[in-house]
Every structure is written in structure tokens, then in C-alpha cells.
Copies of this chain bind each other. A is one copy, B any other.
Amino acid sequence: MFYHDNQLQYEVTVEEPDPTFARALQQAIGGVEGEMRVAMQYLFQAWAVPSDQQAYKELLLDTAAEELGHIEMLATAVKKNLEGAPVSLADVSNDGNDGLATLAGMQPRQHLSSGLNPLPTDSNGFPFNGNYIVASGNLAADMTANIMAESTGRLLATRLYELTDDPGMKDMLAYLVARDTMHQNQWLELLTELGDSEEPFDVLPIPDSFPDENENQEFNYAFLSTNVEAQDDPGMPWTQGDSPDSEGEFSYLSQVDLEGAAADVGAADPRVYNDPTPQNED
């Protein structure tokens, strides 16, 4: 079963809200390359593992719960980027050409359907689809799907990193890029273990051309246990030793030992009628 606390896994700040970037961020939430896919994919893969292979199941559940926390971070980032977004054509026309272009670049359902909040869709408003999830019953085939998911996911994160010029967003994305590096490596490690081979695999992390110094160097080879109790390092190939991309060394962290970060968000423009408080006094 599953638990939560009231902290974000990593800090999410936005210096200058940008509704166009809020549209782009949706791709990382509900897009085919996004975090809803990997969270649900690792859950379904875990539930298919027979009980006598508990280490594999634990590995998958650990990372599934971590990914749920990534959706939460991105949802917070979308909400913060939508602060102050235009909700009336009068606002827009007072704002000159920029106003009209800003409205044009918004994902309209981020206003109309959710009141300036994140959606379970991609950047075009196309809803998350269960067929993105691969859980084949065959652990090796599943690992190829996971490497693919973390490769296209990391590629997306690097493109978002380049797109934004907000320091808070760049910092959050550097963290997510690092986690995708780790996840590519841990799934490849398991795939090679299933295949009894042990060798460097220099094509990883994909894309490899993203500068190392732009990646968060603290978290890019750390396995994160999300078990509700702090765990000792189980000494698995994905928690210690060289990483298969030969660029790092695995370590082991428990999420319960992380400091976490506050998740404070403001109320939306009253004209989107989110009615957050008791309201029938009129």
C-alpha cells in the first residue's frame, strides 16, 4: 500500500511565471514521454512480479513511488507558472501585442477546465492514455521499455531546460535530468544482470551530449528507496558499484531521510471561480 507526506521531493521555485512554459511542462506530466507514464508503468510491472522475486518488485515499487513525487513537482511548477495568466480579453488588450501572443500561446484548458492548474494531459491537451504503459509480464522486455521511457523522458527534460530561462525551473529540471540518468542506468543494470553480461555501455545516458555540469551531480547515481521505513543498502548491482555508463558510482538513499521542500502555492485569480472557501453568503 501507499503513503504520502506533505513535502515535495525537491524544491520548486519560479521567479517569473510564464504561461507558455506552463503549456510546455504539461508534456512532462501527461505526455507520452512524461511522469504519469513511468509511475504507472513501474507499478504495473511490480504487480506482475512473482512473490519469490521480491528484490525486483521492491526495486520497481521504489522508483514508482519516486515518480509519483515527480508528477507532484511538475504539477507545482505548472501552477506557479500560471500565476497571473490572462483570464479576460480586456486584460489582454490592455497589455498590447504581448498580451495577445501570451493568450495565443496558452493551453486553453489550463484556464477553462482547471482554473489555472495542471491537467492530466500533454502540451496539446491530449489526455494521458493507458496504452503508453508497457508491462509485458517479461522482466527483460519491461526493462527495454523502461530504458526507452527514461531516454525519451530525459530528452524531453533537456529540451525543457533549454527552453526556459528561469533559474528556479532550470534547477528543478537539472534535478529531474539527474534522476533520469540514474533510472536509465539502474534499468540497464537489471537488464544486463538478467543477461549475465557486465560491461560499460557508453551510449548512456541518452542524450549524452547534454553537458555534465548542467546536471545535478548529487543525485545522478543515487538509488532512492521510497519504502516507508529507512532501509539498509541491500547491496544490489544498482545500489553500489560502477554504473553501466562507466561515468558514475551507484549509491543508496532513503526518501525518509531527505529534507524535502515546502509546497506553497497561492490562490488563483477570483475570476476563474475556483471558490476555494465556503461561498454561499451571496
User: What is the 8 Å Cβ interface bit string for chain A, positions 32-47, against chain B (1 contact, 0 not)?
Assistant: 1100100010011001
Other contacts beyond A129-B129, A136-B155: 19, CB < 8 A: A1-B7, A3-B227, A6-B54, A27-B108, A27-B109, A48-B118, A87-B162, A97-B101, A100-B102, A113-B156, A119-B130, A126-B126, A138-B206, A140-B151, A140-B206, A194-B275, A197-B200, A199-B201, A202-B280
Number of copies: 6
Question: In the complex, which residues of chain B have a beta carbon less than 8 angstroms from the beta carbon of A196?
Answer: 202-203, 278, 280
Q: What bracket does the count of chain A residues touching chain B fall in?
A: 35 or more
A-B contact pairs, 29 of them (CB 8 A): A1-B4, A1-B260, A2-B66, A3-B5, A4-B226, A43-B71, A47-B76, A87-B162, A88-B165, A90-B165, A97-B101, A114-B135, A121-B130, A122-B125, A127-B130, A129-B130, A136-B152, A138-B206, A138-B273, A140-B208, A141-B151, A144-B147, A144-B148, A147-B148, A158-B273, A159-B273, A194-B277, A199-B200, A199-B201
Question: In the complex, which residues of chain B have a beta carbon less than 8 angstroms from the beta carbon of A258?
Answer: 1
A235 at interface (Cβ–Cβ under 8 A)? no
Question: In the complex, which residues of chain B have a beta carbon less than 8 angstroms from the beta carbon of A236?
Answer: none
A120 at interface (Cβ–Cβ under 8 A)? yes
